[in-house]
Amino acid sequence: MTNAIRAFLTAERGAVTIDWVILSAALVGLGLAVTGVISKGLDENFKARMEARPSQERVVATETGPAVPRPLTP
C-alpha cells in the first residue's frame, strides 16, 4: 500500500494537466475581473448620459392611432 502511495506522489504524468487547469482558471478569473471593471465604467457612462439628456417629450399611445410624442407638462 505504501508503495502505491509513493508511486502516486512521485508520478509526473498529470503535472502538465494541473498546469493547464491552473492557467485556465487564472485566465477565466482575469476575464471576469476585466468584465466587471468595463461593465461598471459603461454603466456609469450610460447613467451620466441619460441624466444629461433633456427629457422634454414622452410617448403617449392613443386609442385610435399610433404612439405620438407629446411635450411633458410639469
SS3 of the chain: helix, strand, coil, percent, to 5: 65, 10, 25
- The 10s digit of each residue's pLDDT in 4-20 is 888 888 887 777 888 89
C-alpha cell at 12: 509526473
Q: Please indicate whether residue 3 or residue 57 has the higher confidence score (pLDDT).
A: 3
Sign of CA dihedral 4, 6, 11, 17: positive
Res 72 pLDDT > 90: no
Number of domains in the chain: 1
- The 10s digit of each residue's pLDDT in 33-44 is 999 888 888 888
Res 59 pLDDT > 70: no
* Confidence at residue 23, expressed as pLDDT on a 0 to 100 scale: 95
Give, in order, the Cα–Cα distances in Å from 47 to each of 37, 58, 72. Answer: 16, 19, 21
What is the span of the domain harbouring residue 59?
Answer: 2-71
Angle 11-16-20 from CA coordinates, rounded to 5° = 145
* Confidence at residue 68, expressed as pLDDT on a 0 to 100 scale: 57
